[in-house]
Chain A
């Protein structure tokens, strides 16, 4: 069974997630602070960390930054769906981002997908990425490989944003589910690696909104 660590400063929320997921994944540890989280992840070596974004002492970002050497994959979980939170967590290395209003079935599926090495794109995250890579670059891309999306990746993202599941995307585009997953992973990697000026500016603009 997938070993999961829950990191959230609200004990009540941890209890809720434990009650919902407890029978379907193996919850090996919980943490309420950044320091606890780092210790628990180090000790229990989980497959997946469910990480809250907003916590005292730096929040999820601090946890992500201090688990550089760990093999655990991180799924960010938050009440906030503000663009700056989403993008910051993904760029720090999270494999996906879901909001806390997600249903237990969807959350279980998301955990399983992250444990399998895939990424989790909520429609909202797909929308953010499309938005961030939308405009034609003002300056020529520094590294076109990671600074631009391919037309196919764009198509996949659009369908994700429209609420399609991977299976539905696969049948819509006549490709295999595996290919959809590859496209999604590539997009996430581009989002993490791209240091193009526009992406930072986009994030800054969003904060102004």
Chain B
């Protein structure tokens, strides 16, 4: 638990100062809860003076420690104070050590210390729990304790723990009364230990439930964050696209292009966002998306297996792009298939359309497209390209690239 900023209603009982000038702790500036800093600020003395005062009282009989502890418990932190400078567990360990030391010292010096202090400590512990809780938590604690006490038989564990805790507390008290050896620190420490264990057992379920509820709240917050992200995305891109589609209703080609681009984007958002980057499948999909946008065709991408993209595979992707572009420009079809398979020793890519096709033998040698950008590119990287087409039967480009480093 962090030290929470308490609301004003609960500090009023314990501070004797008039409302305009109230005593607050400054946990963000002090060392151990900011009691000295708070007092110094309140009365207008230097912090050092207050600290020396506390230390002097602590050395002379331990009163300073008890006083400091009492202040720490009853004085609320300043409303504008931030959380403590130290991690929470450091504070708790520190507080624990201080409490044990105080009880030990007091038990040895006060005549009735062995009996009085464990009880005091138990009361203070309870008070502390309530002190630290803010109002909604307090009401939650109240309802939790109610369910803990009136738990159904299914929650036998909770009841057993409660009973064990209560028994330990009683045992502690009895032990102290029976062995009224007032000078023994040992007895006091033992009683305190027993009491603390008892308290831990009693309040354990509360804390566990609080922790579960906190993590549930955190999960809920993350969920709503995700929802907000998706809403933002829908607003930015989907609504925009829908508006554009309405304005372009007369040109079906443009409508298809817009719808397809938006579909791709949404699919990436829904299914593909966590994919590792730099992989062949991702490169091919991105490339196909660009071709889809530029030439208003649909590219059906199917990838089997995946591999890290190196220079050779980048060339393969570029050649595949060229093949898609050719299909988009010349085939006269609405959709093209792109299939890629990664095998241990080679990667193959097939680009197929069912378009008009052509006779490869009749293409003039000086035409750039296929020769330079596909065949030559593949050959430079040690791969091969094969083109199959005939008029009316569509075209298929087959690209093969051997893999050098096989894992």
Contact = CB atoms under 8 A, between A and B. Distances in A.
A123 interface: yes
Contacts of B245: none
Interface string A112-136: 0000000000011011001100100
Contact of B337 (A80, A101, A123, A134): A123
Contacts of B339: 123, 127, 158, 161-163
Interface stretch (B50-58, B78-86, B173-181, B301-309): B301-309
B275 interface: yes
A126 B302 CA distance: 9
Contact count band on A: 10 to 19
A164 B305 contact: no
Given A124-B300, A127-B302, A164 B352 contact: yes
A1 interface: no
Nearest to B273: A209
Interface in B65-120: none
A71 B337 CA distance: 34
Interface in B284-319: 298, 300, 302-305
A82 interface: yes
Nearest to B260: A101
B24 interface: no
B284 to A, nearest CB: 12
B57 to A, nearest CB: 62
B342 to A, nearest CB: 9
Interface in A62-121: 80-82, 101
A164 B275 CA distance: 28
Contact of A163 (B263, B267, B272, B337): B337
Given A161-B339, A164-B352, A134 B275 contact: no
B275 A209 contact: yes
Nearest to A122: B300
B274 interface: yes
A101 B354 CA distance: 18
A47 to B, nearest CB: 28
Interface string A156-197: 001001111000000000000000000000000000000000
A36 B14 CA distance: 67
Nearest to A136: B344
B39 to A, nearest CB: 57
Contact of A134 (B271, B305, B350, B352): B305
B65 to A, nearest CB: 55
Nearest to B263: A101
A131 B303 CA distance: 8
Contacts of B322: none
A80 B266 CA distance: 11
A164 B354 CA distance: 9
B375 interface: no
A162 B350 contact: yes
A191 B350 CA distance: 25
A131 B305 contact: yes
B187 interface: no
A26 B81 CA distance: 74
B303 A127 contact: yes
Contacts of A126: 302
A114 B274 CA distance: 35
B304 A131 contact: yes
Nearest to B266: A79
Given A158-B339, A162-B339, A208-B274, 13 more contacts: A82-B271, A123-B302, A123-B337, A127-B304, A130-B304, A131-B304, A134-B304, A161-B339, A161-B341, A162-B396, A163-B300, A163-B339, A163-B354
